[in-house]
Amino acid sequence: MFIENTEELAQNKLLLLYIIKRSNKSLTNSQITEFVLEKNYMNYFLIQQYLSELIESNFVELIKEDDIEIYHILNKGQITLNYFEERIPVKIKEELDKEFFKKEEEQKKETQVVAEYFQKGESHYVVNLKLVENEETLFSLYLNVATISQAEMVCNTWKNNTEFIYQNFINILVNEKITPLE
């Protein structure tokens, strides 16, 4: 056995629960492993052993999302973490919170796709489509549509095909060979 005492074992498992819960996005095994190894909290074999034990004990589950297996904290894990969180050293929690905050800020600065609409008057809606990268607006378009279902359809189409629509829109605008409509 790798662990010297039960206190350290419990603390390490709580640490993994804390990381899974605290992350604003779902984490894969390799992401958790890399994160914990980077901080030198425990070795690779302990991480794998504890993640496996947390699954077997129904504290977390491994779910498949877009062909990727990610960890999700279960109710039993949340309750346990809430009850015993003070066993994780404050310094480590502060370090983790800082790291997660930094990662969240980096994600915000990456490309964001915005699709929203609001009612303007009784008979139409305004749709706002936006593409933002590193806090700079690359593309913004406002459209008037007649119904809420059209507004929702435009938003969904934009969200699901942003890159295609953006590239084609730019190509249309900069292509000198386009003949005007008569």
pLDDT tens for residues 123-158?
889 999 999 887 788 899 999 999 999 999 999 999
CA-nearest of 139, 14, 174, 159 to 89 is 14
Q: In this predicted structure, what is the pLDDT of residue 12?
A: 94
At 68, list the tokens.
């990727």
- What distances in angstroms separate CA 95 from CA 35, 66, 86, 180, one per listed residue? 12, 30, 15, 59
Distance between CA atoms of residues 77 and 113, nearest Å: 33
pLDDT tens per residue, range 83-119: 999 999 999 999 999 988 888 877 766 678 889 999 8
Region 16-34: mean pLDDT is 91
pLDDT at residue 60 tops 90? yes
Give the pLDDT band (50/70/90) at residue 177. Answer: low
Higher-pLDDT residue of 121 and 50 is 50
Could you tell me the residue ranges of all domains in the chain? 6-107, 112-174
The rounded distance, in Å, linking the Cα atoms of 59 and 56 is 8
Per-residue confidence at 14, pLDDT binned at 50, 70, 90?
Answer: very high
- What is the average pLDDT score of the chain? 88
Fold of 6-107: Arc Repressor Mutant, subunit A (1.10.10)
Q: Using pLDDT thresholds of 50, 70 and 90, give the confidence band for residue 1.
A: very low
Task: Tell me what the mean pLDDT of segment 50-60 comes to.
Answer: 96
